[in-house]
Amino acid sequence: MSLKVYNTLTNRKEEFTPLTDNQVNMYVCGPTVYDKCHIGHARCYVAFDLIRRYLEYLGFEVRYVQNFTDVDDKIINKSQETGEDPFQIAERYIADYFTSMDALNVKRATIYCKATEHIQDMISFVEKLVEKGVAYAVDGDVYFSVEKAQHYGQLSGINIDQMKAGARIAVDEKKKDPLDFVLWKKAKEGEPTWESPWGDGRPGWHIECSTMSQAYLGDTLDIHGGGQDLIFPHHENEIAQSEAYTGKQFVRYWLHNGFVTIRDEKMSKSLGNIVNVEDLLQNYSPETLRYFLISSHYRKPIDFSENNLEEAEKAVTRLLHTMDTIRSALSEKMQGEAFSTAPYRQQFKAAMDDDFNTPLALSALFELARETNRRIEERTIDTQSLKDIYETFLELGDVLGLLFHREMEGLAEDLLEILINVRSIARDKKEWELSDIIRDRLKAIGIYLEDTAHGTRWKMGKNL
């Protein structure tokens, strides 16, 4: 089965074929950096990290570009409220973004770009749109003429005539048409500004992504991603201005992730139900949070609750316990039957090939875990098969970005084995007090010992 992705532009699943063999150019809209990263940001960037990881797993070279909107009304408003320099605000929250995303094992993009680093490119982009007659300047502002755009509304499904019928234009409105959107904003007192042919000002939001994606990835992108809330107007306007600029198709596959809800309400600042990643990581492991975010299909809404996070924690712990059990069993002589992971790998790949269906992909891992635990308990599996299973968990877990930082390797695992051996010697000598001390101290840090007829095994985690 070949990879199929759901294309928002056509509202159907399509076989994925990049413009260039074995190379994928992907652009994902980054955050406006005026506050800390929240769970909604994490949903987006974990989703597209997973998509990027799977494309790389299939052998594609992914050129992944993500922007930071570091000049915007929200940043300016925060600057005016706090008195802090707007560029310092942006830098602080860019740093917070990286801290949060690194913790969630989101791979760094190939290129991160800031809007303020491409102002001259944006001015040139707008100049060309004006020259082509699809944009116009009015008293220092520049607007894109929506009626000049071909196929406007195709991505979002909006009806332009209905929108116009319901629109109202203020008396002092400069726009020729209520649907026209701003490309360049005239300078206002106290705001960051740059020189331009239309006077001092700053770029509009939509022109930023069109300019930066074109600068790094060319005229036509394979994939453009972002949250569903960006479909209109942001992505619709990106298409209009980019295709007017180049005369070519802007994006071949549009992918959008679903919302995070809290008690079935959309998360938003206006409702006061924003949950920051930094705060969540005080109480939950990064693995738990990442598992929660991929436990639903990326296009579906996901409801945030403590109960759902607890369930995610239990699920992650089960997988980690299986890996602990395998490592422990590998220290023994297992002389059972050979066992193939091929059916589980095929199940995993079929799920991911179907528009990155992570719930089904995760079910393949859990089925493999259950079968592995059963065979280890019954001693009906050989050592080589256990090694293959362990490598399969590492490989497929890496595709999902899971199982990444509770691996016990090298010195730490050697020290644990030494402690277990010392305890075994103590038990043989009937030094029960020392044996119990070692067991209890290990339990206190989340390592549980299990004495079996075949030796002592260890597991990690608190949900036992």
Question: Does some domain include residue 174?
Answer: no
Question: Which residue among 257, 287, 320 closes a domain?
Answer: 257
Cβ atoms 75, 88 nearer than 8 A? no
pLDDT digits (tens, 9 = 90+) for 340-368: 999 999 999 999 999 999 999 999 999 99
Domain that holds residue 458: 408-464
Cβ atoms 103, 286 nearer than 8 A? yes
Smallest CA-to-CA distance from 303 within 266, 358, 248, 352 is with: 266
| Phi (first) and psi of residue 5, to 5 degrees | -125, 150
pLDDT for 388:
97
Question: Does some domain include residue 330?
Answer: no
DSSP letter at 232 equals I
Q: Name 395's Cβ contacts closer than 8 Å, sequence gap at least 6.
A: none
Q: Which residues pair with 144 in a beta bridge?
A: 135, 181
The whole-model pTM stands at 0.87
DSSP codes of every residue in 115-166: GGGGHHHHHHHHHHHHHTTSEEEETTEEEE-GGGSTTTTTTT---HHHHHHH
pLDDT for 455:
77
Q: What's the total number of domains in the chain?
A: 2
Lowest mean per-residue pLDDT among 5-9, 87-91, 364-368, 418-422:
418-422
Question: Does some domain include residue 68?
Answer: yes
* pLDDT-based confidence at residue 175 (cuts at 50, 70, 90): very high
Answer positive or negative: Cα dihedral of 239, 242, 243, 248. Answer: negative
pLDDT digits (tens, 9 = 90+) for 377-392: 999 999 999 999 999 9
Q: pLDDT averaged over the chain?
A: 92
pLDDT for 410:
45
Question: Which residue among 233, 257, 281 closes a domain?
Answer: 257
Smallest CA-to-CA distance from 293 within 259, 254, 344 is with: 259
CATH number of residue 122's parent domain: 3.40.50.620
Question: Does some domain include residue 378?
Answer: no
